Chain A
Amino acid sequence: MRYIPHTEHDIQAMLAVLGVDSVEALIRHLPEDLRQRASLKLAPGLAESEISKRLTALAEQQTGYSPEQSFLGAGAYPHLVPVVVDQMVQRAEFATAYTPYQPEVSQGTLQVIFEFQSLVASLLGLEVANASMYDGASASAEAVLMAKRILPKRSRVLVARSLHPQYRQVIQTYLDGFPGLSLVELGWDETGRLEPAALARHLDERVCGVVVGYPNVFGVIEDIAAIGRSARDAGALTLSVTPESVALGILKSPGELGADIAVAEGQSLGIPLSYGGPGLGLFACRSRYVRNMPGRLVGETVDQEGRSGFVLTLATREQHIRRERATSNICTNHGLCALAATVFLCLLGKQGLRELALRNVKNSHYLAEALQQTAGVQPRFPSPFFNEWVLTVPQARQVWARLKERGVIAGIVLEDWYADLRDCLLVCATELHTREAIERFGQQLRQAVV
């Protein structure tokens, strides 16, 4: 076996040192009725070329799916990934290390995380960011639990129904059984934004936080500043959730608008779609709440000779020390994805991220115009959007199916997620959608709507 180095000679030499006659002797102390005597029912091992053949065959079974003709967003976004990002991620010194328990020989990982924290804090407009979480959805759930820790006497969290439904489901799962905290959902108004009257009705001294998508699942850019003012007046925290982090290259940051905790899905920042995972949870907050934060944090310090260096810090929040009293059960982060995002943000830089975001605005709005040339097709919400939006399309489900037969994935049928939003498609375009692909979608839609 090519991954296991032991020759028969090695095994015998080791057994001789151990003074036993077989490997079996080392497990003879296991209860006999638990010993598994039958072989595992798995196929015999394969050579590299055979594995490659098998998996390539599976990879090529994604029949009919063409990234170029897919206008899917809804929580996962196709974006350019410079090859340098993947090259750095593949460096074995990064990929095959673990949590930097020994900082003297982990400065590479630690400095990368410090740079990551710096970039994320800046992107989200808040003072402190952690070393990352699993994904945007679980980061949202952790943010809700954090709000409860900051305001332990409060028992409710208000969540916009226009927050990505999978994020809401994850928050709900984390809250089930969690003592003293329940979830109240708030609707949207005709603009697609959180309904101010509903917010006013529910905001009281029982509420620890208000959770809102930015942009929300409809692509609508919520008024975080207004929500934040209302929340603050009620003594509650504002939690902003961004499933598409490229949007923050151009939109005002959640922090400058008044969010107390901001989370995001960082998949857009150099991480392949990979059928939805791994992703990258970005998590930032105001510095006064840092000791309530979940997850790892890297801080700068000095060594014995005064050289600058980095260590894991403020670990007294964490499970390996606090056990059942920890701020979270999270043990690691998504370190390699954080590296990818760091390299991506450095390559794009100050100018590039903004330019990338603006190109998304331009392409998606060009697509919006192209699609609206079909009679009866119009935006569901009359609000500015970033790179995805909701279209009203007569007989949306049938139209979507007809387009699929022509090789175009017209986003998702929104009724699958919101029963009350009938005849709506949620559509996305990014910098990867060419003029040709966009115009073809426009023509195909005209033919599909009858």
Chain B
Amino acid sequence: MKTPARPPGPGKRTVLNEPLISARGSVGRVGYALPRDDIPERDQARDLPAALCREALDDFPEVSEGEVVRHFTRLSQWNMSAATTLYPLGSCTMKYNPVVNEYMARLPGLAQLHPLTPDDQAQGALMLLAELERCLAEISGMDAISLQPAAGAQGELTGMKLVRAYHQDRGTPRKKVLIPASAHGTNPASAALCGYDVAQVATGADGLLSADAVASCTDAEVAALMVTNPNTLGLFEREILRITDVLHAHGALVYMDGANLNALMGVAKPGHMGADVIQFNLHKTFSTPHGGGGPGAGPVGVKKILEPYLPIPRIVRQNDTWSWSDAAPKSIGRVRSFYGNFGILVRAYAYILAMGGDGLTHATRMAILNANYLRKRLESVYTLATQEPCMHECVFSDRSFHQTGVKTLDIAKRLLDYGFYAPTIYFPLVVSGALMIEPTETETKETLDEFADALLAIAQEITDQPDLLKQAPFTTPVSRLDETRAARRPVLRWSRSQDS
């Protein structure tokens, strides 16, 4: 694809054009060197018969190291990121990702450690994991931890497998899982993967789940309730103890989605709220980078009653030696290879070390302060989804502007022009045209003010020049993209015709 360079016209955006890597390079050019080959000459065809060998990888690039660096460096500059700007995605906790954690994960003794290294030669790694398990148990009030799940969604799947195994062990897995309407889409998807029917529980007009609403749906066929606390509206579920009592009275369990744990550290423990199993999103609460969409880590924490079902292998200690054990006959098995996203676990552990108990508590309190501050600065102009007090994030609806024809999407796009990433939009589904804002504790008051000022300025633009908003953004490398075309005629890889 040889797109001609497009020099900017008057008032247009200045963008460094960067074609696909397949359009760079030249036949025979290389960007690598293998170590010296000092092994005696061998008959290649005897080692590996030609019939098993493929043709050349014709689609692959032929580029120099310098070209690769330029290509990917340029592409990186087309991203907004938490390092470059406020990234207030609600429910994603885009806090600062400490740089020292990156160095720790790259220590050769950790980064180059093979997962099948004999346990007695991997004691440092095992101790680190055991210590991280202890920290997460203390923060959450749960009894036992598995670090294995690779992501929040896999943690949910693991948690629901535990629920199923628990009930199965008592004779029947039961049929249904209750999920509030405000839940993340991964909740129902994870429950369905475990063979459960999903029954939706209505969220009250105040955005909260009531014990009565839960009680009216709970019967002997309910295996568990999946509840997020604080919920996706940023509200603490005040009836949580009564709610979890209802479930337990029916022999059902409570899965608590730990996505919003950043609002709870040192303030309240899920383990005290009646949660039987939770997942931690280390890439949210514990500062590991989101990576443009992973890798994260989604450990699960459980109460004693679920411990026998945790994934294998488990870390066990005998005398002063740590090792991996598969001796758990009731375990649900494995959810991935080896032990978890170790590199991410190292970063999260380094974060906990840096913060300490008081630091984590302070982080939670400042996250709550920041969200409330933004809420206060915006509530006179944008309509709050609920008047209930918020925790670490605040949600607005489109009620103040939907009659103008301007949509939540337009506001999100216009925010990009003001130099901010957009909040989560159109989620939770229970709020019309939701704008879900989570600033996190690592943003300064000045940044929050600039962001609030931008949203207030946009509110003025809604009145003065609504058509401008519908065309936004204007300052980005590309303007609004045609998503319908992308879905109708999917182009999911480069083709040689594009290369020529």
The reply to whether A95 and B442 contact each other, CB–CB distance below 8 Å, is no
Counted as pairs of residues, one from A and one from B, with CB atoms less than 8 Å apart, the total is: 683
In the bound assembly, the distance between CA atoms of A298 and B494 in angstroms comes to: 11
- Residue A65, interface by CB 8 Å: yes
Residue contact A166 to B338, C-beta cutoff 8 Å? yes
With both beta carbons as reference points, the residue of chain B lying nearest to A250 in the complex is identified as B53
Cβ of B202 within 8 Å of any chain A Cβ, yes or no, is no
Find residues 31-72 in chain A having any chain B CB closer than 8 Å to their own CB: 31, 33-36, 39-46, 48, 50-52, 54-65, 67, 70, 72
**Which of chain A's residues have a CB closer than 8 A to the CB of B291?**
94-95, 97, 334-337, 339
Q: A59-B109, A250-B54, A349-B30 are in contact. Are A409 and B117 (CB under 8 A)?
A: yes
How far is A55 from B445 in the complex, measured between Cα atoms in Å?
A: 33
Chain A residue at minimum C-beta to C-beta distance from B41: A362
Give the residues from 176 to 191 in chain B that come closer than 8 angstroms, CB to CB, to chain A: 184-186, 188-191
Q: Does B268 contact A (CB under 8 A)?
A: yes
User: Which residue from A41, A121, A355 sits with its C-beta under 8 Å from B34?
Assistant: A355
* 8 Å CB contact of A251 from B53, B75, B269, B360: B53
A308/B54 contact (C-beta < 8 A), A36-B268, A177-B195, A434-B38 known: no
* Chain A contacts for B236, CB-based, 8 A: 27, 29-30
Which residues does chain A contribute within 8 Å of B268, judged by CB atoms? 30, 34-36
B56 at the interface (CB under 8 A from A): yes
Known: A39-B266, A351-B30. A321 touches B185 (CB 8 A): yes
Residues of B within 8 A of A84 (CB): 31, 65, 68-69
Segment 60-94 of B: residues with Cβ below 8 Å from A: 60-63, 65, 68-69, 71-73, 75-84, 87, 89, 92, 94
B42 touches A17 (CB 8 A): no
A17 in contact with B341 (CB, 8 Å):
no
Total interface residues in chain B, CB < 8 Å = 203
With A and B bound together, what is the CA distance between A82 and B65 in angstroms? 10
Partner of B61, one of A34, A107, A328, A350: A350
**A299 and B69 contacting across the interface, CB-CB below 8 Å:** no
Q: Are A11 and B369 in contact (CB under 8 A)?
A: yes
Interface string of A397-415 (1 = CB under 8 A from B): 0000000100001001000
Complex interface: chain B residues within 8 A of A104 (CB): 413, 416, 473, 476-481
Determine how close the nearest CB of chain B comes to the CB of A339; give it in whole angstroms: 7
A341 touches B (CB below 8 Å): no
| With known contacts A97-B290, A324-B198, A65–B128 Cβ distance under 8 A | no
Hey, which chain B residues are within 8 Å of A50, CB to CB? 353
CB of B110 within 8 A of CB of A274, answer: yes
Within the complex, the shortest CB–CB distance from B204 to chain A, in Å, comes to 15
In the complex where A252-B53, A320-B427, A326-B185 touch, is A352 in contact with B31 (Cβ < 8 A)?
yes
Instruction: Evaluate whether A176 and B333 lie within 8 angstroms (CB atoms) in the complex, with A39-B357, A129-B493, A275-B110 already known.
Output: yes
Partner of B32, one of A328, A349, A365: A349
Task: Kindly specify which of B43-51, B245-253, B454-462 makes contact with the partner chain.
Answer: B43-51
Minimum Cβ distance to chain A for residue B384 (Å): 14
Distance between A275 CB and nearest chain B CB, rounded to angstroms: 4
CB contacts (< 8 Å) of B40 on chain A: these are: 366
Q: Which residues of B contact A114 (CB under 8 A)?
A: 20, 492-494
Q: A300 — which chain B residues lie within 8 A by C-beta?
A: 486, 491-492
Residues on the A chain within 8 Å of B157, using CB: 329
CA distance A337 to B292 in the complex (A): 10
Interface-centre pick from B52, B295, B476, B480 (highest chain A CB count, 10 A): B295
Contact (Cβ within 8 A) A332 B358: no
Closest CB in chain A relative to B127 CB, distance in Å: 6
In the complex, chain B residues 102-150 whose Cβ is within 8 Å of any chain A Cβ: 102-118, 120-125, 127-128, 135, 138-139, 150
The smallest C-beta distance from B39 to any residue of chain A, in angstroms, reads 5
Q: Which of A62, A138, A386 contacts B123 (CB 8 A)?
A: A62
What are the residues of chain A within 8 A of B76 when measuring CB–CB? 88, 91, 93-94, 108
Q: Is the CB of B161 within 8 A of A115?
A: no
CA distance A129 to B343 in the complex (A): 25
B35 adjacent to A432 (CB under 8 Å): yes
In the assembled complex, A80 has its CB within 8 A of some CB on chain B: yes
Contact A115 B352 (CB under 8 A): no
Pair A76/B57 contact, Cβ less than 8 Å: no
Inter-chain CA distance A279–B76, complex, in Å, is 22
Contacts of B311 in A (CB 8 A): 173
Q: Which of A39, A51, A104 has the most CB of B within 10 A?
A: A104
A204→B39 CA distance, assembly (Å): 49
Of the candidates A74, A98, A138, A349, which one forms a contact with B31 in the assembled complex, judged by CB atoms under 8 Å apart?
A349
Query: Cβ of B108 and Cβ of A299 under 8 Å apart?
Result: no
Interface residues of B in 204-250 (CB under 8 A from A): 236, 238, 240-241
Question: Which of A6, A96, A137, A339 contacts B445 (CB under 8 A)?
Answer: A6
Assess whether A150 is interfacial by the CB under 8 Å rule: no
Stretch at the interface among A185-193, A229-237, A311-319: A311-319
Task: Let me know if B334 and A48 touch, CB within 8 A.
Answer: no
Query: Which A residues touch B28, using CB under 8 A?
Result: 351
A372 at interface by CB-CB < 8 Å: no
Binary flags per residue of A420-444, CB closer than 8 Å to B gives 1, else 0: 0000000000011011001000000
Provide the residues of chain B in CB contact with A449, threshold 8 Å: none
Minimal Cβ-Cβ distance residue in A for B129: A275
For B344, list chain A residues within 8 Å (CB).
277-278
Residue on A nearest B339 in the bound complex, by CB? A276
Q: Is the CB of B335 within 8 A of A173?
A: yes
- Known contacts A62-B117, A173-B332: A96-B32 contact under CB 8 Å: no
Within 8 A of B (CB), among A75-124: 75-76, 78, 80, 82, 84, 86-88, 90-109, 111-112, 114-115, 117-119, 121-123
Q: How far is the CB of A334 from chain B (nearest CB, A)?
A: 4
Q: Whole-angstrom distance between the alpha carbons of A389 and B93 in the complex?
A: 45
Q: Which residues of B contact A70 (CB under 8 A)?
A: 114, 117
Q: Does A221 contact B (CB under 8 A)?
A: yes
Q: Report how far A400 CA is from B138 CA in the complex, Å.
A: 40
- Decide yes or no whether B421 CB sits under 8 A from chain A: yes
A151 sits at the interface (CB 8 A): no
In the bound complex, how far is the Cα of B34 from the Cα of A399, in angstroms? 32
For residue B477, which residues in chain A have a CB less than 8 angstroms away from its CB?
Answer: 104-105, 107, 309
For window 205-236 of A, CB contacts with B under 8 Å fall at 221
Q: Is A167 an interface residue (CB 8 A)?
A: yes
**With A and B bound together, what is the CA distance between A328 and B494 in angstroms?**
26
For the complex, is B293 an interface residue (Cβ under 8 Å from A)? yes
In chain A, what residue has the closest Cβ to B334? A169
Q: Which residue of A lies closest to B443 (CB)?
A: A5
Do B31 and A346 touch (CB < 8 A)?
yes
Partner of A4, one of B42, B69, B366: B366
Q: What B residues does A23 contact at CB under 8 A?
A: 365-366, 368-369
- CB-CB under 8 A from B103, the residues of chain A are 52
Q: Which 9 A-B pairs have the closest CB atoms?
A: A276-B338, A276-B115, A61-B124, A59-B109, A336-B291, A45-B356, A40-B357, A92-B83, A278-B295
* Other contacts beyond A98-B94, A301-B485, A325-B192: 10, CB < 8 A: A18-B376, A40-B357, A44-B358, A93-B80, A94-B291, A100-B293, A114-B493, A119-B60, A138-B154, A347-B65
23 residue pairs bridging A and B, Cβ less than 8 Å apart: A5-B442, A17-B376, A42-B135, A42-B139, A87-B69, A102-B422, A134-B151, A134-B295, A136-B337, A166-B338, A173-B332, A278-B295, A299-B492, A320-B185, A322-B185, A324-B198, A331-B153, A343-B68, A343-B72, A345-B61, A349-B31, A384-B47, A434-B38
